[in-house]
A = this chain, B = another copy of it.
Amino acid sequence: MLSDNPSAGILVIGDEILSGRTREGNAHYLAGVLAATGFDLREIRVIPDDHATIVAALQAMDRTLGGTWDHVFTSGGIGPTHDDITADAVAEAFGTVLEIHPDAREAMAARYASLGIELNDNRLRMARVPVGARLIVNSVSAAPGFSIGVTHVMAGVPNVFRAMVEAVLPTLQAGRPQVSETLEMRRGESDVAADLGEVAEAYSDLSLGSYPFHDEDGWGTNLVVRGVDAARVSAAMAELKSRLGVAG
C-alpha cells in the first residue's frame, strides 16, 4: 500500500517466544492500533534476550541510528531479573549509559510504599533509563518504559504493554488511519484471482488481499481492500463486487 503515514517496526525481545513457550500477542495488538491510528507497520522482528542481537536490531530498525523505520516499538526485557537486558542494550545502541531516573524512582517508591513492599536493588534496576530518554508512564505497575531516538521501549507483560502503548502513542505524530472493507465469498481464491488482480492494478494506491479459510461449511475466501482514503476503498470494493456479480 502507498501512504505518507510514518513507518513503524516492532521489535519483540524474548527467548520465551522463540522457544514456543509463549504465543506472542503484543505485536498483534499493536499492529491493529497502529493501523487504526495512522502508522504504517512494515516489520515485526522477534529476537532472543541477547545483548549484541538487540543492539544490531535497533541499528537496523531505528531511523536515527541509520535504520529503516520512523518509529520502533519494543516489547520485553525491562523487568528486574538477569535476563532483562533490553535497557542496557538500548543504551549501548544509542551510545549512552543507564542512570536511575528520579521520576521513575519516585513513581516506583510511591507504588511500593502503598503495597508495603521494599524498593530493593532488583526493583530499582527497573528505574534505570538511558541518559536523555523520556519516560513512558506505566499506569499498571509503576516501573516505566522510555523513548529514545525513535525507539519506544515497553514491557512484555501484556496489560503493562497496552498501558504503555496508550501512554506513548498520543505523543507521536500520526498520519491517516487505515480503513478496510471485507467481502466474504464461498468461492475458491483461484476463481476470483483474475478479477481481484485487475482491480488491484487499477487501484495501486490500495492494498487488496485475498485470504482463504476453511470452516464447517467448507472453503471460502475473504477479499480485503485497505487504504487510507475511505472513498477509494469503497470504490475499489464496489468495482470488485460488480465484477464478481455480488449485490452491492
- CB of A45 within 8 A of CB of B44, answer yes
Contact A20 B31 (CB under 8 A): yes
Q: Are B46 and A180 in contact (CB under 8 A)?
A: no
A192 to B84 alpha-carbon distance, docked (Å): 13
Interface residue count on the A side (C-beta < 8 Å): 68
The interface-forming segment of A94-102, A193-201, A233-241 is A193-201
Binds B, one of A131-139, A145-153, A166-174, A209-217: A209-217
- A43 to B: closest C-beta gap in Å: 6
Least CB distance from A111 to B in Å reads 12
- Docked-complex contact A200 and B20, CB < 8 angstroms: no
Interface pair B20/A81, CB less than 8 Å apart: no
Alpha-carbon distance A214/B47, docked complex (angstroms): 24
> Which of A12, A209, A214, A224 has the most B CB atoms < 10 Å from its CB?
A209
17 extra interchain contacts, Cβ-Cβ under 8 A, other than A22-B211, A81-B196?
A: A15-B209, A16-B224, A17-B31, A19-B32, A19-B41, A19-B226, A20-B29, A20-B34, A21-B211, A44-B46, A79-B212, A80-B190, A82-B196, A83-B209, A122-B194, A125-B193, A157-B213
